[in-house]
Structure 1
Amino acid sequence: MSSQTVGVVPVIDISPLFGDDLEARRAVGKELDAACREIGFFQITGHGLSDAVIKEVYDTAKEFFAQPLAEKRKVAQPNPKTVRGYTAVGEQAFAYNEDTSAPGDLHEKFDVGPFVESDDPYFSVDVAGPHFIPNQWPEHPARMQLAWEDYFEAADALCRTIMRGFALGLDLPEDFFEDKIDKDISMLRAIHYPHRDEPPLPGQMRAGAHTDYGSLTIVRPEEAPGGLQVFTQDGDWKDVPVIPGALVVNIGDLMAQWTNDQWISTRHRVANPPRDVVANTERMSIVFFHQPNYDAVIEVLPTCVEPGVAPKYAPITSGDHLTMKFEKTHQRV
């Protein structure tokens, strides 16, 4: 096992989490714990996510976004509570998550959620609301559904492994989170940042400053001008470098709440490329947002609050928390 820090974000080899050595797994857990307390971001190597699976979801997303707008709008997201399908450039503003006003972000995106076929009422709209509604798939590229379902399954399994590492880092039983994430309501998103010759509006970003919502986020970034930045505790925006083969991970608001803010849900953004760059600045990120079961009650963990001291947060279900956040991130028209 080895770890380092590149820029302000630690790089952690998580391969021991897949092995049989409990002490090696605990050691990784402690590295994860330290990163989440210091900045809430880290990069992971030894994650086991197949290059072929990553490439296929990336390639199909690129083909989809290259189509005319009218074609993409055939699978448009129906409403703010139904996060499935396509959202065009400027129709979302992440800064609304922080109750601030800003122009729409300079990206387009495509979202899918869990693909579950079951007669169990737990997954029905009447009980689950929008969390297990069917996904929308475009006609082209035809192989997109298979590619995305493969990536979703692999990323979801990776998140379960990381959550076991989180439990060890927090001095909890390794399987503490298992029954809270076995029917998770996670989402897979491709975010396309097109090249633009015209300047952005005042305050307009590729993705405005925000924190993520759930337990953790896994990002497959791309090396191109105008990238991910994190807001450090020193009050500075710092670039997150792209490391070949590594994935960027950050925790979200729900995990911060779970840990009574001992772990940090850090603000981040995607910066605009410098105006003096004349090359093509197009870029794309593949993002997996891990979110616990919709009925999982999120209350401060026993190892994160002193006996007799009231926790900062009242319990809330994962589903209610997620729905509240979604409704803030879309343009008010």
Structure 2
Amino acid sequence: MTATVPVIDLQTASAEDLVNALIAASCVFVVGHGIPTAEREAVVRTGDQFFALPRDEKQKVIWPGDGPWYGWQPVNESGPKADLHERFEVRLAAGQSQLDDAAWATSFPLWPQHPPGFSQAWTRLYASMHSLSSRLTRMIAQGLKLPESDLPAWTLRQHSNLVLNHFHAQTGAPPSGRLRAHAHTDIGGITLLWADDAPGGLEAAIGPEQAWVPVRLRDDAYLLQAGDLVHLWSGGRIPANLHRVVNPPPQATPQARRSLVFFHHPNPETWVAPTDGAAQSGISAAEHILARQRTDYAMTESR
């Protein structure tokens, strides 16, 4: 069975079209987005070169272990049930009011020294994804008739992460219960995803029955997935997209898989609440992000 994921062409779609598609399916393919393919390819290429480095070289830029995730993360090593991948993650400094590419690139503390051109490629794509995610967030707010006063926290002062996941080639069957990525919803507002077509890919729970169905990624599109905070901000009208990445079937020549992800969050200082007067049912964006990180890490240790 193939997932029926709506397609939204930003050259023609209205805000209402986008919102209605997200309400129905929790994720949509976004085309007509204007991001050059070459920008994405540069990040994937430099990411592949980084992941091929010796472990001691990657260790120089490993996540320090506290605060929001960033840097190199050998996720597969974090526990007996950990997901089967590694990733590199770049984040914008919390509370930054304007996106200044040069200043942001200088301020990020964990740029790899190799390969050449890494920081330039990632900074360029981050800026493009920031603009696109801000545009989509404004459309969601317009389609749901959310207050204009909410928007600066989700656009100018957003706090987002650009991630490349490297799902290792599987030369044998993995231990029982381990997947490339366990079933989860995303922590933040919206997620923009691209992935190659190597076997062992994305599955999403779509529709009223929430049955698991494969989602074949389109090369010309980014998959927009609603996260926890947009679900809350929308007053529950937009469901958070539940998804996972499954293991591939046995292969004569095992293949790695890569996915490129932009996790778009509001300003961490934002109190995210439904616009129905029930502010007490909201949550601090920063507290939610860190609580989910702790929960997800604990699951890899004990599942």
* TM-score normalised by the chain length of structure 2: 0.88
Alignment partner, residue 13 of structure 1: 9
Tell me the CA shift for residue 205 of structure 1.
0.3
Match of 1:236?
A: 211
CA positional deviation for 1:81? 2.3
- What is aligned with 1:53? 39
- State how far apart, in whole Å, the 2-side matches of 1:117 and 1:325 are: 20
2:91 aligned to 87, 101, 113, which one?
A: 113
Q: Are 1:149 and 2:127 matched, yes or no?
A: no
Which residue does 2:101 correspond to in 1? Answer: none
Contact kept? 1:112, 1:135, Cα under 8 Å? no
Residue identity in the other structure for 1:249: L
- Distance in 2 (CA, whole Å) between partners of 1:92 and 1:112 is 20
Deviations 1:7-28 (A, max 9, x none): 3211110124xxxxxxxxxx52
Question: For the Cα contact (< 8 Å) 1:40–1:264, is it kept in 2?
Answer: yes
CA deviation map 1:275-305 (0-9, x unaligned): 2x2233211011000000111121102xxx4
8 A contact 2:94–2:267 mirrored in 1: no
Q: 1:323 matched to which residue of 2?
A: 290
Corresponding residue pairs, total = 290
Give 1:71's match in structure 2, choosing from 57, 60, 65: 57
Aligned 8 A contact 1:260 1:313 in 2? no
CA distance in 2, matches of 1:117, 1:168: 24
Matches of 2:148 and 2:15, distance apart in 1: 10
1:122-201 correspondence to structure 2 within 5 Å: 134-172=108-146, 176-201=150-175
For the residue of structure 2 that corresponds to 1:190, the secondary structure is strand
How far apart, CA to CA, are the structure 1 residues paired with 2:30 and 2:295? 30
* Contact persistence 2:187–2:227 (CA under 8 A): yes
Query: Residue 286 of structure 2 aligns to a residue in which SS?
Result: helix
| Contact 2:6–2:27, Cα closer than 8 Å, also in 1 | yes
Alignment partners' CA distance in 1, 2:266 and 2:41: 27
Counterparts of 2:33 and 2:56, CA distance in 1: 38
Partner of 1:129: none
Counterparts of 2:95 and 2:110, CA distance in 1: 15
Q: Does 1:84 align with 2:70?
A: yes
Q: CA deviation at 1:117?
A: 11
Secondary structure, aligned partner of 1:7: coil
Is contact 1:295–1:318 with CA below 8 Å preserved after alignment? yes
Aligned-partner Cα distance in 2 for 1:57–1:261:
34
Shifted more, 105-114 versus 236-245: the winner is 236-245
Give the letter for the 1:299 counterpart: A
Distance in 1, Cα, partners of 2:136 & 2:51: 31
The 3-state SS of whatever aligns with 2:29 is strand
Contact 1:160/1:178 (CA < 8 Å) preserved in 2? no
- Please say if 1:206 is aligned against 2:180: yes
8 Å Cα contact 2:273/2:279 also seen in 1: no
| Pairwise CA distance, 1:183 | 1.4
Amino acid at match of 1:10: P
Q: Which moved further from structure 2: 152-161 or 236-245?
A: 236-245
CA gap 1:300/1:150 in 2 versus in 1, 3 angstroms = same
Question: Partners of 2:37 and 2:191 in 1: how far apart?
Answer: 18
The percentage of counterpart residues that share the same residue type is 30
Name segments (4+ residues, structure 1) moved above 6 Å. none
* Secondary structure of 1:328 counterpart: helix
Separation in 2, partners of 1:85, 1:53: 20
Corresponding residue to 1:268 among 243, 256, 262: 243
Give 2:30's aligned residue: 44
Alignment partners' CA distance in 1, 2:111 and 2:143: 39
Q: Is the 8 A contact 2:159 2:264 kept in 1?
A: yes
Give 3-state SS (helix, strand or coil) of 1:231's partner.
Answer: strand
What is the SS of the residue equivalent to 1:43?
strand
Query: What is the CA–CA distance in structure 1 between the aligned matches of 2:159 and 2:185, rounded to whole Å?
Result: 18
Residue 145 of structure 1 deviates from its aligned partner by 0.8
SS in 2 for 1:300: coil
Match of 2:256 among 269, 282, 295: 282
